[in-house]
Every structure is written in C-alpha cells, then in structure tokens.
Amino acid sequence: MLVQRLVDAYIIGLEDNADNSTLCQTLVTHISNGDISLLELVQALGSYLSSEEAGRRSKGAHVLADVLTDLPADSIPPQATEKLARFFAARLADSPCVPHALPSIIALQGLDSFTDQCAVDVLDALFKEVHVQSFQHSTRGEAYRLLDLIIDNRKTVVKSMGDDFVLGFAQMLDGEKDPRSLMVAFQIIPKLAQLVNIKNNAEDLFDVIFCYFPITFKHRESDPSSISSESLKSALRAAITCSPYFGDMAIKPLIEKTTAASMSVKIDTYETLSAAALVYDPEVLKPDMEALVEQIREDVIMASDEAVVSAALDTLEAMYSAVSPAAPPSNGLDSRVADFNETLTPLDYVLKDAIFQLTADDIKNPEQIGKLLRSAARSSAYNCNVVSDAVLPIIVERLHTTDVLTVRRELIDVLNHVLSASCDVNRKAECLDSDKNNLLNIYRLDASVPLDKEYSFLHITRLKGITLLILMPGFLDVNETTMALQTISRAAIERNEDENVNKEGSHLLVQLAQSKPEEVETAVLPLFFDALCEDMVSTHKVSSLLNALGAIGVATATVLQPILSGLVQVITSGKLLPSHCLTATTTIRKMVDTATAAPNGAEICPALTSNIAIPLSDWAFNTGSSNSSSICPAVIVEIAKTITAAFSKLDSDKQEQHLHAQFGRYTMMALKVGKADDAHFQLLPLYSAFVCACWPQTKLPVDNLDEYLGGLASAAISTESFYQRDVCFEIIATVLNKISSTDSRDQLTRSVLGNADGVDIGIAHVLLRHWVARALINRNDKGGYECVHWLLSLITQDSPFSSDAAEGFSIILGDHNWAVTAATHGVFRLLSKQRFYATVVPEITVSFKSASSDAIKANLLVVLTHTVRHMPKSVLMTGIEEVVPLLLSAIRLTTGDLKAASIRTITMVMLESPETLQEQIATSIIPLLIASVAHTSSANSIEVRRAAHDALLLVPEKYPFSALNAVRKNVLHALARARDDHKRLVRMEAVKAYNKWLDYGVS
C-alpha cells in the first residue's frame, strides 16, 4: 500500500537522520486530498506504535506528530479528534513518546472538536505521568506551551480542576532552569491566579516561584530573538505580585533583599515591592514598614546610584499609597507632631527622622529629607495633608529665627519638596490656608533679583517655591499669581552676576507655560517684549531674552503664536534696534520650524503664514524699498526661511491666493537688469522663497511660462547683482524640476538655455548650467546630464571659468534652504544619486588620467570631492577602488572644506572596507594625514586637522601593527606637535590619537 511505503520510508529516514520534510508533505497532501485517511495512517504505524522496543514506539509517534502538526484542521475528522487525544494522553505515560505526543496534543487542542473532557484527560496524564524536568528543553518548552494554550482556550477546564491544576503546575515547574521555559511559566502564573483560587496551594506555588528571585540572566547580544534580562525580570515580578495570597510570604524576604550589595538587585527588589503594594493586603505591609522605610532612607541618603534612589522613592510612595486611609479620620488631622512616644503610624517612620533633622542646629542631608517627605506626601491627598501639617510649622518657625543663608536655603528647599507633593496630587494641602501669609512672607512674591551672588542660590530656591505656589490648585488669587509670574520673569530678564538665576527663571517659565499658558501670556510676555525694546540693551541680553521666549514658545502651542506675533510686532514697529533684528528673526524661524515639524504642524501653517511670514515679508519689503534704510541680507534670509517653513505646508489653493500679491510686488524687480550696488535686489530671496515653496500643482500667476523663465534667465545673465542672479536661477530650477510633462520640460529647458547662451560665456552661463542640472538630475532627466557634460567639457578645456564650473558642482548635489528640496516639494526620483555617481565618476577618472595640466586635474578633483561628499555610503562604496587614488590626489591638491571632505571619505572607506586601503595605508595615506595635522600649513583648516586626527585615531583599530610599525614614530612626532594646536578641539583630538598610537603594538 502507498501509505505503508511512505511510513516505512519515513521511519528509515528517521533512523538515518535524513530530512523527511518531503515525505511529511506527501503524507499531508494525500490525507488532505482524501487519498489516505488518518485512520489508515495510524494503522500503518500500528506495528511501530505498539512495539515493545522504545525506539520504534518513539519513531512511530514521531511520524504521527509531524503529520498532525502540518495537517490542516479541516483534514482531521471530528470523530477522530477524541480518539487521537486519548491515544496521545496515554502516550504521555511512555517516556520515549512524550517529546512527540506533546506537539500532537498542541495541534489537536486548537480544533473545535477537542472537548473539555479531552483537555482534562490530557492534563491528568501530564501532571501524573510526566516528570517534565527529566526531559530536554524542547520537550519542557512544549509542556509549558500546552498549559499556556489550555489556560487561554479552556478556562472552564482550568477552573474545574482548581487545586489539582495549581499543584500539578507547581510540581512541573520545580527545578526548571532554562530561561525560555521560565519565561512561559512566569507568564502562566498571573493568568492562573485570575482563573483559580490559589489560596490552598499558595505556599507551594510561591516557593517554586520565589526561589528564582532575584533572577540573573545574560542576554545574548548576537541573538536578537533571545529573551532579554529585563523581560525575564518583569515576568518574574508579575508572577510574584499577581496574588494577595503571596503577601505574607513575600514581604519579609523582599525587604531583606533591599540590603543587597548589588545595585541591580536593589532596583529589582524595589520595583517588585512597588508592584506588590498594588496587590497585597495593606495589613500585610504594615508590620514591616518601619524596616523598609529605614532601608529606603539609607539608600536615598547614601545616594550611591541615582537609579537606586529613584526606585527606592517610588517604592516608598507606592507603599504609603497602599497603607494610607482613603480620607482623613472624622475628628480631623492627627495633630501629633512631636510626641512620638505613642504608638507610631506608618507615616511617622518618615516624619520622625525628618522632624529631628529639621529641628537640629545643623541640618544634615536636606535634599534627601525633602525627597523622602515628597514621596510620602504625594502618595495620597491624606498623606499630603499629614506631612504638610507636621513639617510646615517647624520650617516656618526656624525661618523666623535664623538669618544664616545656607540654613534658610536648605529649609526652603525641604519646603519646596513638600509643596510639590500638593502639586503632584493636584490638591492643596488643607493646612496651607492657615499658613498662607507665612508662605507668602517666606517666598516674597514681589522679591527683586539679588545683585550679590552670595544670595543667588537662596533666590533660585525661592523661585522654585514661587513656581510651586502658582501651580498649587486654588492657593494664589489672580493678583498674587500675576505678581509671582512677574517675579520669575524679572529673574529671567534682569542681568545678574550669577547667570544661573537667569537660566532658572527661564526654565521655570517654560514649566509654567505648559500648565498656565493664559497667565503666562498676559503677565509674562509683555515684560519680555518691553525688555527687548529698551534703549542700549546689550546683545547678550537680547540673545538671552530671545532664547527664553523661544523655549517658552516651543514648550506649548498655546503661547507660541502670541510670542511669534509679539516678536513680529516688536520688529515691524521699529522698536527693536536694527543690530538685533537678525537674532530676533532667527528665533522666529526656529520656532516656526519646530511648530511646522510637529505632527499637527500643517494645521497652524495658515495662521503662521498670515500672521508671521507675510507681515515680516511686508516689513522687509517696505523697509528695504526705502532709500533711507536697508536690511541686513542675513535677516532677509532668515525671513525667507520662515516663509518657506510655513508657506510650503499650505495647500495649493491657499498658496495661489498669496502668490498674486507677491508676484505683483517682486516680478518686475526680478526681471529688471540691476547694478551691483542696488540694495533693492537684496529683497529678492523673499520672492524666491514664496515661489520655491509651492507644490508642483500650484499655478504661478504668469501668462506665459516660457517668456517668464526666459526673462529670468536673461536678467540673471545680464545683471551685476549676485542676489538677483541667484534668485532667478533658483526659481528657474524650481519650476523646471516640478513640471511633470517631459515634453514641456524639455522645451522650457531649451528655451532657458537658448535665451542665456550668447557669443561670450560668463560666470552666469556656468551657474545657469549648474542650476538646471540640479533641477533635472534629481528627477533623472537626460537634460541634466547634458548640462553636466557641458560643464566637464569646460573644465577639461582649461577655460577661465573652469574653477567656477568645478566649484559649482556643490549646487547640483548640495543642500539649499528652499530651492529644489524635499521640504519644498521638489521632485526626486529613485536612484537619482546612484545614476549621477555611475555617470560622472567614470568620466572624471578618464579625464583625470588624460589631463594635460595640474590645473585641470585640480578642478576635476574638486568635482570629485563635491560628488563623493553628497553620496550615500552604499553608493560610494560601489567601485571605491577606482576612486581612492583620486581622493588621495584631492588631499594633496585641495584645501579647506574640500580637503576635509576627502579625508573623511577616506576615513569612511577605512571604516567600511579597510582592505581596500591596505596597500596605500603606510606609503601614501599616513604621510598625507601627517601633513594634514600640521597647524602651520595654510591648507589645513581646523576641519582638515580634525578630520585627519579622526582618521589617525581609526587606523590602529583597522590595521595590524606589523603593517604600520615603520611609520609609527613619524605619526607620534606629528601628533605630539599637534597637541600644541591653538584650537582646543583639535588639541583634544590630537591627545586621543596620540594615546592610541602610543599604545599601538604594546602588549
């Protein structure tokens, strides 16, 4: 029979350890198609399954398990499911068959015909007949997986078995060591505790679980699928804290483990206690609270590890949250403040030591005391009241009786921690109303900024407290809130010997803007705007004020637009000194960039365009058009960037509405041939920003696009103003890039180049080719490569404009603020850079080899450097062997940024493919790097020297000492001199590289 032949072949394959996947699939196919029935397969395996030899029984079960695991559910007859389930349940008593019976049962339990009784039979056999720990990990893992599936899918069965299931699982888990099995087992326990009342077997189950705590396991970094140490810890923590029945047994040993020397064990224990506080009965926690609080106090005060401190404080808060009353007792707050001879309550364990320290002549560890009090107080509104009621009178009294600045600062610092708890629980402590006047006297809402640096630390602490009073619900009235905000504002605004006061004031305003935006808008912003408009205000102060406003605006969207509008008003009203306009517009641009980059940034762009970008543009145009004044070009660029950020996010219809006004204002100016000294042309970047930021589908308000672009090209060629020339080229490139029709684009390209070309070639003709190439190459248009070939031809002819042609390749590939960029909806086709690299680099290589002069070679190397610096790493490494000799020549012949870029490219090659440089490293590369670290050479800018140091730092990691032993002495001499470089950053990097080479080859 067919089935018998297949079974026999399968058995032979198992004996020979052969791959039986084909045979298994054949059996599965025949059964699925009805050629063979499942009963026939079992009959064919009969002699194996009933054999007296363990090995034959195991192989028979193996075959059946493989087939069942791969067999579709609808191929297993419902009437066969129960028989197979009973059969495999019986096989669980036969140790050799267990590894194959478990997968078969897992396959069966997912069937609708697998009844609850089948599940009971399987579980009885598993718990009674199988000693799980005697099997290999794979079999143990299947056993835990089976239990997990039954718990998820057969809840009624688990509930009906109750204690038998719990005890059986506990016995099964006892002795497990494999982290993969433990992970599943730990995840089972919380599910089991929800389904079954584990009270009768809680001790047995807990003993099996807790013996693993604290669990130590090293994650295999090389295996991303392996279990992480943290996930295993979390699973064990969830298991230990899943049931209140574990409380009596867990608390004492957990508290004992908080004394462990290991920081990780401490953190794990505290996190487990925090989780336990949410589940265990509070009455179980109370008897050991004193010991726990004492240990937490020790860990917080010792502060050996910040993570331990944080975990300990979280545990303190969780424990007090669990044991505190839900509300104050009916007779009011417990007023025993100092009589600790009576029976102590849990809160007294913290308060006793805190009050002792606060009443001592020398307050020890005030910061730590404050943290402990805060954690206790923030655990509940009731605890907040108790702590505040106990501590506040003592601090108030001491502040009245001491003038020592350090003591006053320490007391206020502790008070700040207590007040912050009221903010954390979002409820005002009841005792604060009676002490309001005392608190207002302590914090002095109308306090001026101290001039003496000695008082600044106290003032900073007081400012933090004032912030807390503002944030405390219902504590200050409207006038008091305004006064407090103005005090913090003065700290941020007024110049102080200690800049920390200004920084803290700004930081606190950022915090307040997030929770009290309306109050900040009305009370704070006017003070900042007035300060910006003061006479003789220093540049440093303006920068500080604008940085603070920028941070406040970015912190919350509610005050962003009022800040931006206020700054625009300050600028456009002429109240801000012209010398500070650049800083102000830069701040506006940064805020707009941040706002538009947010997930909902597009929603506010219409408002930003109408209220910020357009008014700034109008102001710049009106001011710049006046013969009596001019605007710094850098200010114009910042406004143009702001326009780009907001305008680019508008939809095309809204863009068209705004464009009509801008075209009417700027088009005639752009088309008019100008003089180099005409300041009006400095305004044209605003025009370019509006046009370049448009969507491809946005219609420009021009009647004839061909004439428009031709006019721009003619004006750019003829003008003496480089502002006008650059803007015309930017607009031409943007329009060409966004035209979707190939025919239209080709026609416009020919027209533009035709209008520009004449008898004499000038620098403008060369730059036009660069911009057209930028527009077309990024969308893989052949016209772009025609421009590139024209430029390369110009370079190889040693033309007067060869150097300009070479330098301009940075225009083709480099970044720009708004012209042909992804942010302004430029069209970038897939693999455009790869195509450029594959096309241009071979041509550069051939031309370099045949070049007749060093000048031509130098210009070709400039092109190469611009090309490689803008290429993705994956592209650059393709065919890098041909490029390396040219890069080395570029290091010799170029200077400044180009030389630095070549060195960094060599460094990247060294990092990614060091064998590529094996032959040149000692003979060519190291000598070039040595020459490049010398600060006495004019060719070695700071970027060149830093790049060379980075390369030298990497060399010992990539190449054996034997290959570089001959040059080590020269490298050390060069780096020793470089340690005296006049730039600090270079000196630091030189020291690192020197130390690396000094240890190089030393065993």
Two tokens, residue 719: 């003008």
CA 14, chain centre distance (Å):
51
The set of long-range contacts for 839-842, using a CB threshold of 8 Å and a minimum separation of 24, is: 839/785, 839/788, 840/788, 840/792, 840/867, 841/867, 841/879, 841/882, 841/883, 842/882
What's the pLDDT band for 232 if we cut at 50, 70, 90? very high
Residue of 287, 268, 338, 349 lying closest to 316 (CA atoms): 349
Could you give the C-alpha distances from 250 to 234, 294, 406, in angstroms and in order? Answer: 16, 18, 44
pLDDT at 376 over 90: yes
- Cβ proximity of 724 and 677 under 8 Å: no
Find tokens 């912190």 and name the residue.
555
Model pLDDT, residue 693: 96
Q: Looking at the predicted structure, is the pLDDT value of residue 471 above 50? A: yes
**Which tokens is 380 given?**
């509940």
Confidence of residue 222 (pLDDT cuts 50, 70, 90): low
Mean pLDDT of the region 44-70: 82
How far apart, in whole angstroms, are the C-alpha atoms of residue 775 and residue 738?
Answer: 8
Q: Which two tokens stand for residue 816?
A: 């720009």
pLDDT at 588 > cutoff 80: yes
CA 56 – CA 38 distance, rounded (Å): 20
Name the range with the highest mean pLDDT among 59-73, 306-320, 349-363: 306-320
**Is 112's pLDDT higher than 80?**
yes
Tokens of 926: 């190291």
Q: Which residue has the higher pLDDT, 45 or 648?
A: 648
Q: What is the pLDDT of residue 282?
A: 92
For the chain, the first-to-last Cα distance in angstroms comes to: 72
pLDDT at 371: 94
Helix axes 366-377, 381-401, angle to 10 degrees: 150
- Residue 266 near residue 260, CB atoms below 8 Å: yes
Domain ranges of the chain: 497-644, 651-831, 907-1003
Give the integer Cα–Cα distance in Å for 179 and 140. Answer: 11
Six-digit token pair at 711?
A: 């006019």
Q: In this structure, which amino acid lies at residue 918?
A: Q
Q: Of 247-256, 258-267, 571-580, 810-819, which gets the smallest average pLDDT?
A: 571-580
Q: Is the pLDDT of residue 628 over 60?
A: no
Report the pLDDT value the prediction gives residue 339, as an integer from 0 to 100.
Answer: 47
| Reported confidence tier of residue 334, pLDDT bands at 50, 70, 90 | very low
Is the pLDDT score of 82 beyond 90?
A: no
Dihedral sign of CA atoms 533, 538, 541, 543 in order: positive
User: pLDDT band at residue 123, thresholds of 50, 70 and 90?
Assistant: very high
Q: How open is the CA angle 567-568-573, to the nearest 5 degrees?
A: 105
Task: Calculate the average pLDDT of the chain.
Answer: 88
Structure tokens at 48: 């194996």
Q: State the average pLDDT over residues 420-443.
A: 79
Percent of the chain having pLDDT more than 90?
Answer: 54
Contact 656, 701 (CB under 8 A): yes
Q: Which of 28-42, 644-658, 703-717, 840-854 has the lowest mean pLDDT?
A: 28-42
Query: Beta-carbon neighbour count of residue 410 at 10 Å?
Result: 25
Give the three-class secondary structure for 225: coil
Question: Can you tell me the distance from the alpha carbon of 153 to that of 102, in angstroms, rounded to the nearest whole number?
Answer: 17
Q: Can you give the pLDDT at residue 338?
A: 43
pLDDT of 7 > 80? The answer is: no
600-625 core/surface letters (b: 16 or more CB in 10 A; e: else): ebeebbbebbebbbbbbbebbbebbe
More confident residue, 17 or 141: 141
Residue 16 has pLDDT above 70, yes or no: no
Confidence of residue 225 (pLDDT cuts 50, 70, 90): low
- Judged by average pLDDT, the poorest of 9-23, 166-180, 658-672, 728-742 is 9-23
Give the pLDDT confidence score for residue 459 in this predicted structure. Answer: 87
pLDDT at 500 over 70: yes
d(CA 293, CA 353): 11
Tens digits of per-residue pLDDT, 711-750?
A: 999 999 999 899 999 999 999 999 999 999 999 999 999 9
In contact, 43 and 52? CB cutoff 8 Å: no
Question: What average pLDDT does range 619-625 have in this prediction?
Answer: 89
Tell whether the model's pLDDT for residue 930 goes beyond 60: yes
Which pLDDT score is estimated for 591?
95
Asked whether residue 303 carries a pLDDT value surpassing 80, the answer given is no
Give ∠ CA 227-230-235 in degrees, rounded to 5.
Answer: 80
Place of tokens 């270079």: 986
pLDDT at 824 over 70: yes
pLDDT at 635: 95
Per-residue pLDDT, 341: 46
Q: Measuring CA to CA, how many Å separate 721 from each of 678, 683, 686, 708? A: 7, 12, 16, 19
Confidence class of residue 217 from pLDDT cuts 50, 70 and 90? confident
